[in-house]
């Protein structure tokens, strides 16, 4: 059953086109996730689809009652069934936390007669239990769902398709978030394949041109000892050969100009840390906990935390909202009798207050003032987090909230530290930046202790989980970490890459020689699969 149909939608702010959509439809049972960079118009699109904002052009038709969950708006608690409020843990009092307000919005949507839920960051401020409950409700909901979310785990568990907004246009991908990533990667692989085919064919034709040109130039004039009749015959023969070769050269040059040009796909420069610039931890243990407990007033937050963090570990602190994750990070940073920090440890602390930034200095100046790394490496890391070229010379005073977060993160990340404490590092970041941050932190040679609600981030970064709770807090290794990736030594990795490179070369060679359409398709599939393997091991 069709729930929503949007046609020829356009929306601009000033001279900037935010949204341009030819057609969108939502059917009963569909769960659609909307992704894209900050500022691309995700919330604008949602408001248009919910009839909360009028587009400059186009129409939106709704064929059922809808419930719209905006990012920031109070909901009348009296209108919601008490059973649903209890189910979502909504308190009776007037004063509510961000998490309680979020749960109230969700309960409000579920208590309505809506057949289409349109939600903008609905899991903001929810703890893991709240997010998992929301996922369950959305999977079981009898209708359709459109969600903006930076929670990749949620997008995986709930969504049946992904809409990506980029430069005002929308590209639709079937499947969940992982399927979307795979399809995007396949497109990149295809572009590389087509580029390599193009450059190889162009090089082959250029070589053929060069050879024919040289052959044409090497044709000799008649020797002086020849008679007139012989010389005329020789000259005619040479002229014919030269004309034929020159004609061949022109034909090949025409073929070169007729080749469909393929631009080289963009690649990200790898971040390589200079170990000589990195301060090593000379102890077997970086930080150890001995019966650590914490209270907020009279309320116990967590207790009986024991364990030791080894150098190089990536530790995720997990717990309910209000369990004391930020408190523990502050205790490590500020010192505590029950927490032993090795003498060779140098702590870098990122938190949401962003007190480490000088607003009157540029992004680059802020990062350089506390870093021993080269400007080239600093620019490379900033580029990975979407600060390109001249962006690094922007003053912090002029930056958005998300840009300030990224600057503060890079300043800590590239500071003269060997243990990083990160409190909610993914807050205010869009999905492309979260993906980039995840990759940057994986490459970091030091120790990281971080608190986050992002389960996908934890799954892909953490080597250990530190769980804090009232009665029993503990640290344990992630047994299932990177189940799909075989951990190999550097030598094994290099050998594997060499083998793949050889197979890629062989496959390309076969591709250039075969004229059989079926064989060519099989070789193309093999080539793309080899490219994927190469990227995974790199």
Give the number of other CB atoms < 10 A from CB of residue 135: 18
Backbone angles phi, psi at 356, to 5 degrees: -90, 5
- Please compute the mean of the pLDDT values over residues 479-491 and round it to a whole number: 40
Apex 508 CA angle, 500 and 537, nearest 5: 20
> Is-contact 431 35, C-beta < 8 A?
yes
The 10s digit of each residue's pLDDT in 34-63 is: 999 888 889 999 999 999 999 999 999 999
The 10s digit of each residue's pLDDT in 66-107 is: 999 887 554 444 444 454 555 555 555 555 555 567 777 888
| 3-class SS letters over 247-268 | HHHHHHHHHHHHCCCCCCCCCC
Residue 287 has pLDDT above 90, yes or no: yes
Number of residues in the chain = 538
DSSP, collapsed to helix, strand or coil, labels residue 19 as strand
**Strands 447-451 and 66-69: what pairing?**
unpaired
| Banded pLDDT at 15 (limits 50, 70, 90) | confident
Q: What's the Cα-to-Cα distance from 435 to each of 155, 313, 480, rounded to whole Å?
A: 14, 20, 21
Apex 124 CA angle, 123 and 129, nearest 5: 50
pTM here is 0.71
Bridge partners (DSSP) of residue 307 are 289
pLDDT at residue number 492: 45
**Strands 339-341 and 161-166: what pairing?**
unpaired
pLDDT at residue number 343: 92
């Amino acid at each position: 059953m069709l729930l929503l149909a949007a046609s020829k939608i356009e929306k601009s702010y000033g001279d900037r086109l935010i949204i341009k959509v030819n057609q969108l439809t939502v059917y009963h049972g569909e769960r659609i996730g909307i992704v894209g960079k900050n500022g691309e118009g995700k919330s604008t699109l949602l408001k248009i689809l919910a009839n909360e904002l009028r587009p400059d052009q186009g129409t939106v038709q709704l064929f059922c009652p809808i419930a719209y969950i905006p990012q920031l708006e109070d909901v009348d608690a009296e209108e919601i069934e008490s059973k649903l409020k209890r189910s979502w843990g909504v308190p009776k009092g007037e004063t509510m936390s961000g998490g309680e307000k979020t749960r109230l919005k969700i309960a409000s949507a579920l208590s309505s007669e809506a057949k289409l839920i349109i939600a903008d960051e609905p899991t903001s401020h929810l703890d893991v239990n709240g997010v998992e409950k929301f996922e369950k409700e959305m999977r079981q909901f009898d209708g359709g769902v459109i969600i903006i979310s930076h929670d990749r785990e949620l997008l995986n568990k709930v969504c049946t398709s992904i809409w990506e907004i980029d430069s005002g246009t929308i590209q639709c991908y079937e499947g969940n978030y992982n399927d979307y990533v795979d399809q995007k990667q396949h497109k990149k692989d295809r572009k590389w394949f087509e580029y390599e085919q193009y450059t190889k064919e162009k090089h082959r034709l250029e070589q053929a041109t060069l050879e024919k040109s040289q052959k044409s130039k090497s044709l000799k004039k008649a020797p002086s000892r020849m008679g007139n009749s012989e010389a005329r015959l020789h000259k005619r023969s040479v002229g014919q050969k030269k004309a034929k070769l020159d004609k061949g050269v022109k034909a090949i040059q025409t073929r070169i100009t007729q080749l469909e040009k393929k631009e080289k796909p963009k690649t990200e420069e790898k971040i390589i840390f200079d170990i000589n610039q990195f301060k090593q931890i000379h102890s077997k243990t970086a930080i150890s906990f001995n019966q650590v407990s914490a209270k907020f007033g009279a309320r116990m937050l967590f207790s009986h935390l024991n364990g030791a963090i080894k150098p190089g570990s990536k530790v995720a602190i997990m717990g309910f909202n209000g369990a004391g994750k930020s408190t523990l990070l502050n205790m490590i940073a500020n010192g505590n009798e029950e927490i032993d920090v090795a003498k060779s440890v140098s702590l870098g602390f990122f938190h949401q207050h962003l007190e480490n930034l000088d607003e009157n200095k540029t992004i680059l100046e802020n990062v350089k003032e506390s870093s021993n790394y080269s400007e080239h490496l600093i620019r490379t890391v900033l580029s990975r987090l979407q600060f390109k070229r001249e962006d690094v010379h922007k003053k912090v005073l002029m930056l958005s909230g998300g840009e300030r977060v990224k600057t503060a993160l890079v300043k800590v990340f590239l500071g003269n530290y060997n243990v990083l404490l990160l409190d909610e590092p993914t807050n205010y970041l869009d999905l492309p930046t979260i993906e980039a941050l995840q990759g940057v932190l994986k490459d970091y040679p030091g120790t990281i202790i971080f608190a986050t609600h992002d389960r996908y981030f934890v799954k892909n970064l953490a080597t250990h989980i530190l769980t804090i709770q009232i009665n029993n807090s503990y640290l344990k290794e992630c047994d299932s970490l990177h189940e799909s990736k075989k951990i190999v030594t550097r030598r094994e990795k290099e050998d594997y890459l060499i083998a793949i490179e050889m197979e890629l070369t062989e496959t390309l060679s076969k591709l250039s020689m075969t004229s059989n359409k079926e064989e060519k398709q099989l070789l193309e599939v093999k080539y793309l699969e080899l490219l994927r393997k190469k990227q995974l091991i790199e």
